[in-house]
Amino acid sequence: MAISSFCRTLLFAALPVCQLVAAQTIVVEDVVIAADETTIAPAAAVVAGFAGPEAFQLTDAILANLTTLQLSNISLFAFESDNDFEKRTNEDSCKTVPGDARWPTRAIWSVLNLLTGDALIDTVPIGAVCYPNSGVYDAAKCDRIIAGWALSSTHSADPTSVMSPIFQGETCMPRNGNSSTCTLGGFPTYVVKISTVAQVQLAINLARNLNLRLVVKNTGHDFLGKSAGAYALSIWTHNLKSINYLASVKTPSYTGPAIKLGAGVQVFELYEAANKYNVTAVGGECDGVGVAGGYIAGGGHSPMSSRLGMGADHVLSIGVVLPNGRFVTADETQNTDLFWALRGGGGGTFGVVTSMTVKVHPKVSVAGASFTVVSGADVGISDDLFWAAKLAYVRNFPQYADEGAYAYSMIFPRGAPGSGYIWSMLPWMVPGMSLADFKKMLAPLLADWKALGFPVEITYFETDNFYDAWSKHFPFEGVANANLRTASRLFPRSNWATEESLMAMFNGVRSVVDEGSALIQYNMKADAPAGSTSNAVNTHWRDSVWYAIFGGSWGEGASETYMEEYNRKITEDWMTRLRVFAPGGYGNEGDVMEPEFGDAFFGASYDRLLQIKRQVDPNDVFWAPTAVGSDRFYIEGSRPWLTQQNGRLCKKAA
Ligand SMILES: Cc1cc2nc3c(=O)[nH]c(=O)nc-3n(C[C@H](O)[C@H](O)[C@H](O)COP(=O)(O)OP(=O)(O)OC[C@H]3O[C@@H](n4cnc5c(N)ncnc54)[C@H](O)[C@@H]3O)c2cc1C
Ligand SMILES: *[C@@H]1O[C@H](CO)[C@@H](O)[C@H](O)[C@H]1NC(C)=O
Ligand SMILES: *[C@@H]1O[C@H](CO)[C@@H](O)[C@H](O)[C@H]1NC(C)=O
Ligand SMILES: *[C@@H]1O[C@H](CO)[C@@H](O)[C@H](O)[C@H]1NC(C)=O
Ligand SMILES: *[C@@H]1O[C@H](CO)[C@@H](O)[C@H](O)[C@H]1NC(C)=O
């Protein structure tokens, strides 16, 4: 938001404000100077001992220097202290929205823009270019956005777009450009495009001091609507792209190579860097997810997990801006509670992470396989045969996980019940295993399948490094389907203890799939690796050998009644049926309506996480659905069966 264009848009509406903005001056050490991007921005000092974005910090000296700002009060950007707005904040039951006395005037937003060095973005929803009356209509851009809608990069490159549009209320969907109106819906009102720590601090301080809703968006992959929020100021971390390889890092518990990642680094960028430095990093299977954003914050499962545990198990150090506006480092020796919480305790809860340093591991060879089986009467594979074959496979999950496997497969019903399934294994891989050993591991299962008469054509692969296995053998994953709901469960090893418990779990899963649920599943384990320090990873991960995502979609234009029924079925029927076998779910890919989300998404870590949340963020500057401590707020006007982000965020009566 350049000041000059800001003036142009305001000229007609509010001339006096514009003149004030244009005539803006500040007093610095008793000297009155013009306030523009070149004189006061960015409001940051270079702090010794830090590099890149973290070298530029907001300090008390900087704030003291910006003493009198004629348009507004620089104290709006001050750090938290005992005598400030904290008390005011507590009085308000709802976060500030436009029209409230405390909502910043355009002038205050322009001061934020000045202080951040022209980094403030006035939200224009990604689909607005498809709306003839939006003022930004652009048919060619609209075509490109529609063509690239299923690509995660379309959304991660946009300041506010999210990949689960259901949570922003499906406003301003590009395809509806000619038939509806583009509104802000659940999108934030303003965004700070982050390139320095100082900008994060200014945004947090302003939000805290005026009780604004704050959201953090990195890529927008979140499945639960955690990176959107109506009437919010958003902190957009996507451009923090620094990657530094550190050949040898020494901490109390570790000596070895590591990579320091800016908060915006995505999985594919981490893997490219690791490959270049001849090491293996622990990241997700999906290429676009933000590693040091929501992925590690929520735990982070990985093709390396059966060997190396969760992504969060590899973190050595974290740079983070706290709710009070201060930048700190959390590691094994300082801010240790926070260090524990930031590794598994969830994104958007304890502060804004600006970097993480993660362990990397020796290069590893990989063996694996892919196959697709279609069943159904038309191909001579009955449902019972299909499930018998599936059972023969599931039966061995503890063994495969112990041998290091990560098997990613999906089962989709082909149509109405009884019409068969499509089962795609994409892929089943074991890091650190030779192809010969991999084939040995599969042989008994293949013999079982042969005996059953279940025909499977398998394609094998072997690579001498992780990067090639990952880049060639995982599927493209489309995103941003609007009419989609998912939920997940972590099935513990104890279900395999007896034939009865195995069959009860298996038949439970089958019953849900037979009623139309997709089954997106991972046979893997996630034990904490030797030498890692304790963290907040959901304890339900630690004994699971089967991680499964359930859910489905409904047709365009489905009625409200149908959607309610379908969504309630997922949470209240399907998940209730499976919760008895799998009390935990993965919070990063879970059900936003999970009834006891504290236990399900954090397990035995929850109580301590809640204590840390109340200490670090007593006034709930940070809030996200299903985040630690989030149950003391609600979204005004939200459907009872689905928490969306397009209403005002309010505190429940005490
Ligand atoms: C197609 C697809 C594939 C996936 N594959 C995997 C996988 O292989 N393994 C796996 O474990 N998960 C996977 N996920 C889930 C993924 O881990 C979560 O969606 C995760 O939250 C994404 O984090 P992000 O930063 O990219 O996304 P965002 O939606 O931008 O952020 C997610 C959450 O983290 C918060 N956040 C982001 N950055 C910061 C920050 N710097 N500081 C504080 N909070 C922050 C946000 O506020 C939000 O609450 C996948 C998701 C999708 C859609
Ligand atoms: C305060 O501002 C003056 C004038 O721009 C500058 O010379 C001085 O270095 C600033 N001090 C700090 C602590 O930033
Ligand atoms: C502005 O600052 C003065 C002190 O300099 C303070 O008394 C006042 O409350 C502040 N007002 C706002 C709106 O920040
Ligand atoms: C809107 O209508 C115009 C004219 O018919 C058409 O060219 C365009 O593709 C339509 N846009 C969308 C988003 O459907
Ligand atoms: C890469 O790493 C592997 C395994 O640690 C090692 O054997 C090999 O020599 C390394 N290659 C180079 C070029 O450093």
The per-residue pLDDT for range 320-335, each reduced to its tens digit, is 999 999 999 999 999 9
Q: Closest ligand to 466 CA?
A: 5
Q: Closest ligand to 26 CA?
A: 2
Question: Does the pLDDT value for residue 26 go beyond 80?
Answer: no
Cβ count near 56 (within 10 Å): 20
| Per-residue pLDDT at 507 | 98
Question: Does the pLDDT value for residue 9 go beyond 90?
Answer: no
Burial environment of residue 463 by CB neighbours within 10 A (0 to 12, 13 to 18, 19 or more): buried
For residue 188, is the peptide bond before it cis, meaning its omega torsion is within 30 degrees of 0? no
Max alpha carbon distance in the chain (Å)?
Answer: 89
Burial environment of residue 610 by CB neighbours within 10 A (0 to 12, 13 to 18, 19 or more): middle
Question: Does the pLDDT value for residue 70 go beyond 90?
Answer: no
Domains of the chain are: 70-236+625-654 (no CATH), 243-362 (3.30.465.10), 366-605 (3.40.462.20)
Paired with 376 in beta bridges are 381
- Decide which of 441 and 61 is more confident: 441
| Per-residue pLDDT at 161 | 98
| Per-residue pLDDT at 37 | 56
Rg (CA), the chain: 26
CA proximity to 614, closest of 600, 628, 624, 599: 628
Q: How confident is the model at residue 41 (pLDDT cuts 50, 70, 90)?
A: low
Q: How far is the CA of 562 from the centre of ligand 2 (A)?
A: 62
| Per-residue pLDDT at 67 | 58
What percentage of the chain has pLDDT greater than the value 90?
Answer: 84
Q: What is the pLDDT of residues 177-205, one digit of tens each?
A: 999 999 999 999 999 999 999 999 999 99
Question: Does the pLDDT value for residue 593 go beyond 50?
Answer: yes
Residue nearest to atom 4 of ligand 4 (CA): 178
Question: Does the pLDDT value for residue 46 go beyond 50?
Answer: yes
In short, whether 278's Cβ falls inside 6 Å of ligand 3 is: no
Q: How confident is the model at residue 18 (pLDDT cuts 50, 70, 90)?
A: very low
Rounded-to-integer distance, Cα 1 and Cα 235, Å: 15
Sign of CA dihedral 616, 621, 626, 632: positive
Q: How confident is the model at residue 631 (pLDDT cuts 50, 70, 90)?
A: very high
Q: How far is the CA of 574 from the centre of ligand 3 (A)?
A: 54
Using DSSP bridges, classify how beta strands 120-122 and 190-193 pair: parallel, antiparallel or unpaired: antiparallel
| Per-residue pLDDT at 4 | 38
Q: Work out which ligand 5 atom sits closest to the CA atom of 362.
A: 5
Alpha helices for 176-227 (secondary structure H): 197-209
Question: Does the pLDDT value for residue 370 go beyond 70?
Answer: yes
Mean pLDDT value of segment 350-363? 98
| Per-residue pLDDT at 201 | 98
Reported as type and span, the H/E element at residue 176 is none
- Decide which of 38 and 292 is more confident: 292
Reported as type and span, the H/E element at residue 497 is none
In short, whether 73's Cβ falls inside 6 Å of ligand 3 is: yes
Burial environment of residue 133 by CB neighbours within 10 A (0 to 12, 13 to 18, 19 or more): exposed
Reported as type and span, the H/E element at residue 162 is none
Residue nearest to atom 8 of ligand 3 (CA): 73
In short, whether 178's Cβ falls inside 6 Å of ligand 4 is: yes
Q: Closest ligand to 65 CA?
A: 2
| Per-residue pLDDT at 230 | 98
Q: How confident is the model at residue 69 (pLDDT cuts 50, 70, 90)?
A: low
Q: How far is the CA of 170 from the centre of ligand 4 (A)?
A: 19
Rounded-to-integer distance, Cα 484 and Cα 553, Å: 4
Q: For 320-385, what is the HEC assignment?
A: EECCCCCEEEEECCCCHHHHHHHCCCCCCCCCEEEEEEEECEECCCEEEEEEEEECEHHHCECHHH
| Per-residue pLDDT at 322 | 98
What percentage of the chain has pLDDT greater than the value 70?
Answer: 91
Question: Does the pLDDT value for residue 464 go beyond 80?
Answer: yes
Backbone phi and psi for residue 439, each to the nearest 5 degrees, phi listed first: -65, -35
Q: What is the pLDDT of residues 501-541, one digit of tens each?
A: 999 999 999 999 999 999 999 999 999 999 999 999 999 99
In short, whether 25's Cβ falls inside 6 Å of ligand 2 is: no
Residue nearest to atom 31 of ligand 1 (CA): 294
Q: Closest ligand to 257 CA?
A: 5
Mean pLDDT value of segment 484-494? 97
Q: How confident is the model at residue 423 (pLDDT cuts 50, 70, 90)?
A: very high
Rounded-to-integer distance, Cα 144 and Cα 132, Å: 16
Question: Does the pLDDT value for residue 15 go beyond 50?
Answer: no
| Per-residue pLDDT at 105 | 83
Question: Does the pLDDT value for residue 81 go beyond 90?
Answer: no
Question: Does the pLDDT value for residue 215 go beyond 90?
Answer: yes
Q: Work out which ligand 5 atom sits closest to the CA atom of 364.
A: 4
Helix (H, G, I), strand (E, B) or coil at 491: strand
CA proximity to 337, closest of 350, 324, 319: 350
In short, whether 638's Cβ falls inside 6 Å of ligand 2 is: no
Q: How confident is the model at residue 25 (pLDDT cuts 50, 70, 90)?
A: low
Q: Which residue type sits at 213?
A: R
Q: How far is the CA of 452 from the centre of ligand 1 (A)?
A: 41
| Per-residue pLDDT at 33 | 58
Question: Does the pLDDT value for residue 263 go beyond 80?
Answer: yes
Alpha helices for 14-73 (secondary structure H): 15-22, 37-40, 60-65
| Per-residue pLDDT at 184 | 98
Question: Does the pLDDT value for residue 10 go beyond 80?
Answer: no
In short, whether 59's Cβ falls inside 6 Å of ligand 2 is: no
- Decide which of 44 and 254 is more confident: 254
User: Rounded to two decimals, what is the model's pTM?
Assistant: 0.93
| Per-residue pLDDT at 45 | 87
Question: Does the pLDDT value for residue 30 go beyond 70?
Answer: no
Rounded-to-integer distance, Cα 416 and Cα 438, Å: 36
Reported as type and span, the H/E element at residue 261 is strand 254-262
Q: What is the pLDDT of residues 104-119, one digit of tens each?
A: 987 788 888 888 988 9
| Per-residue pLDDT at 267 | 98
Q: How confident is the model at residue 66 (pLDDT cuts 50, 70, 90)?
A: confident
In short, whether 141's Cβ falls inside 6 Å of ligand 4 is: no
Query: Tokens 């989609």 — which residue?
Result: 484
Q: Closest ligand to 180 CA?
A: 4
In short, whether 278's Cβ falls inside 6 Å of ligand 5 is: yes
Residue nearest to atom 10 of ligand 2 (CA): 65
Rounded-to-integer distance, Cα 204 and Cα 352, Å: 9
Considering the chain, what is the average pLDDT of its residues?
92
Least confident stretch, 57-61, 180-184, 578-582: 57-61
